[in-house]
A and B are shown apart, each in its own frame.
Chain A
Amino acid sequence: MKVTFPHMGNLYIPLRALFENLGLTVIVPPKSSKRTLTLGTRNSPEFACLPLKVNVGNFIEAFELGADAVVMAGGVGPCRFGYYGEVEREILEDLGYNFEMFIIEPPQGRFREVLHELGRLVGRVTASQVIHAVRIAWEKLSSVEALERLAAKVRARELQKGSVTKALAQALKDIDKAETLGEIRTARLDGLSTISGVPQREDYTPLRVGIVGEIYVVLEPFVNLDVERELGEMGVEVERSIYLGDWIGLHVIKDMLRFGRGSLKRVKRLASPYLQHFVGGHGIESVGHSVEYARKGFDGVVHLAPFTCMPEIVAESILPRVSKDLDIPIMSLIFDEHSADTGVVTRLEAFVDLISRRRSRLGNLGKDTGDVSYAGLYRR
């Protein structure tokens, strides 16, 4: 059996490690590309949202490389994603592929089902093998995200445009190749020091922007037209509201161990003046995290959503109030299959203009000079 799974940012690195250490052969789909999107949109219902289409494209491209088993996440609540595993199974079967599908539902108390599905996937393995695989995968995941977090900070200050992105790509490659816990830690430390060693502008305080929104669009740079990098290269320090380590810690591990879902509770509490109900997906998180960024003194929030995403439409209609109440600029961007980034870059540039003017005005309260220049804030 050759296992594959959909792409979502750099998730393939820990997932590959997890499954390989459980004794499975893994076929990582080629990185999402225009071809993936073309295959996906051709074979998916038009009204589905973008994640489904890219998933289908990923699976077809993995089948071409010989994969014959698919692992897909399930879900609960009003977000359509929860049913995408089933829909994808049907689509791929109709296309005539021969494969097995494993849909891992979020546990939420029904562990037997999850364990049953996992057991069906990996067959007979020893407990120590499972523990080892999970430890390796966890180490890789947290290393990947530590590198991503650092890159998003340093990129805003890099002297040579693109140098951080290059250093990050190399570090991720090393993490992917590392096999033992020791090797992973070395790769992580090497990567962290290469990234922080990139020549940087000194005496420069970057603007800070938080990215909120639907998890897939937030994490997959192919789909969000590299928003994180674009902002970074405009000299903005970016923080994502979603890191998978947090997310898995929240939804899987803590759930499994039944101890408090602290961070989710906190986000819900922050969102509660505006939204008290679970609206599916990450709707409530988008609101809660925006409030959090405002309180932390960020200069702005960028909200990402796939076209027609219901939970994020709910969030989008609430965010203008958050913006007004807490005096923080928030901009929503909606993504579909378009590849032209001009529109996105135009909006991001204007947003950065806005927040930097705003900051220099706030910084000069009482002595408003009025001559802060729009021009020359950054070059493209």
Chain B
Amino acid sequence: MRGYIGVDVGSVSTNVVAIDDEGNVIDKVYLRTQGQPIKVVQEGLRAIAAKCSDIEIAGAGTTGSGRRLASVIVGADCVKNEITAHAVAASHVVPGVQTVLEIGGQDSKIIILRNGVVIDFAMNTVCAAGTGSFLDHQATRLNIPIEQFGDLALKAEVPVRIAGRCAVFAESDMIHKQQMGHRIEDIVCGLCEALVRNYLNNVGKGKDILPPIVFQGGVAANAGMKRAFEKALGETVIVPEHYNVMGAIGAAILAAEEVKRRGTGTLFRGFDVVDEEFEARSFECKGCPNRCEVINIIRDGDTIARWGDRCGKWEAL
């Protein structure tokens, strides 16, 4: 059987999937990036390799903010931005999808599709209020495991109103409500509603949000957020089975497309990469006052990639 690998290296999580020719997920891994993207990509591949012993890997794709780094490690056929990757995965899983709501660790985006084609998108520009990191932070502060956060919200009776525009204002509002004696469930639910309000007014501003609506990204695990979206939009919101690895699925589908288009075989370097020694070393170029921080990616003693320079002097090896 043939399979395709997709790797999504995000700020908070790194996901690796293997899909078959039809785009069905063979296996998936969701790991925390924890500031060590190289190690985590290798770890993810190792876990996937265990399930793929009898599968011929015919292509690999990477996406996410660490897509470039991941691409030199795995040998990617396709390196693609996460907006396109998410859109491709969503329209694969829910054919005819018209709206994709995606909330990840540091980004939130909305993608509008018509007839399977992206016609509009937006991404949070200057503020991370309402993204996964903020929810994570609040869960820690309230001493609630993030996995239970959403279910707690569903138990609310009288959601309180929380300021949603700014994480700092939201936090001070939450502390205030908590000191006034409101129930924790009501506060958590209020927070979900505030984040949804902020999302729709900020990222979703002026967009035609039509069903089917797919909600994906790590935050889609939060049942409270799903319900808050449904309440605000008055529509059913679909959370796909593999909601938290949709970027990686998209990257794998794109890699499959690319390999077919090119017809010269995959650049995937094989699962042996999990045992290779990768090292990233940086230095400050003193060629001009920009003082670019140049990154060297070193594999088993050889420099295999370099980037970070504005002028392109170092990028060519």
Contact = CB atoms under 8 A, between A and B. Distances in A.
A358 B113 CA distance: 11
A347 B126 CA distance: 13
Interface in A348-380: 349-351, 353-354, 357-358, 361, 368, 370, 373-376, 380
Nearest to B66: A342
B289 A375 contact: no
A83 interface: no
Contacts of B79: 380
B262 interface: yes
Interface string B69-104: 000000001111111100010000000000000000
Contact of B257 (A36, A347, A375): A375
Interface in A289-323: 307, 317, 320-321, 323
A107 interface: no
Interface stretch (B116-124, B134-142, B175-183): B116-124
Q: Kindly name the residue among A30, A332, A354 whose own CB sees the greatest number of chain B CB atoms within 10 A.
A: A354
Contact of A357 (B82, B118, B255): B118
A162 interface: yes
A30 B289 contact: yes
B258 interface: yes
Contacts of B289: 30-31, 33-36
B261 A358 contact: no
Nearest to A162: B312
Contacts of A376: 78, 258, 261-262
B119 A354 contact: yes
Interface string B280-317: 00000000111100000000000000000010100000
B83 A350 contact: yes
A87 interface: no
Contacts of B119: 329, 354, 358
B257 A374 contact: yes
Q: Kindly name the residue among B77, B79, B81, B121 whose own CB sees the greatest number of chain A CB atoms within 10 A.
A: B81
Q: Kindly name the residue among A30, A34, A36, A161 whose own CB sees the greatest number of chain B CB atoms within 10 A.
A: A34
A36 B289 CA distance: 9
A93 to B, nearest CB: 25
B206 interface: yes
A337 to B, nearest CB: 12
A363 to B, nearest CB: 13
B133 to A, nearest CB: 15
A320 to B, nearest CB: 4
Nearest to A351: B121
Contacts of A358: 117, 119
B126 A353 contact: no
Interface string A229-246: 000000000000000000
B125 interface: yes
Contacts of B61: 375
B contact patch SS? mixed
Interface string A34-73: 1110000000000000000000000000000000000000
A332 B61 CA distance: 28
Contact of A375 (B65, B82, B123, B261): B261
Interface in A319-346: 320-321, 323-324, 329, 331-334, 336, 342-343, 345-346
B261 A346 contact: no
A358 B206 CA distance: 20
A334 B126 CA distance: 7
B312 A373 contact: no
A174 interface: no
A161 B80 CA distance: 19
A226 interface: yes
Contacts of A307: 126
Contacts of A334: 125-126
B205 interface: yes
B128 to A, nearest CB: 11
Interface string A147-174: 0000000000000011001000000000
Interface in B35-84: 61, 65, 68, 77-84
Nearest to B254: A375
A33 B311 CA distance: 13
Given A320-B206, A353-B81, A329 B312 contact: no
Nearest to B82: A346
A349 B261 contact: no
B118 A353 contact: yes
Contacts of B288: 31, 33
B11 to A, nearest CB: 10
A350 B121 contact: yes
Nearest to A225: B310
Question: Which 5 interchain pairs have the tightest Cβ spacing?
Answer: A350-B83, A320-B206, A33-B289, A375-B258, A349-B81
Interface of B: 61, 65, 68, 77-84, 88, 115-123, 125-126, 205-207, 254-255, 257-258, 261-262, 288-291, 310, 312
15 contacts: A30-B289, A31-B289, A31-B290, A33-B291, A35-B291, A307-B126, A321-B206, A343-B65, A345-B81, A350-B84, A357-B117, A358-B119, A375-B61, A375-B261, A376-B78
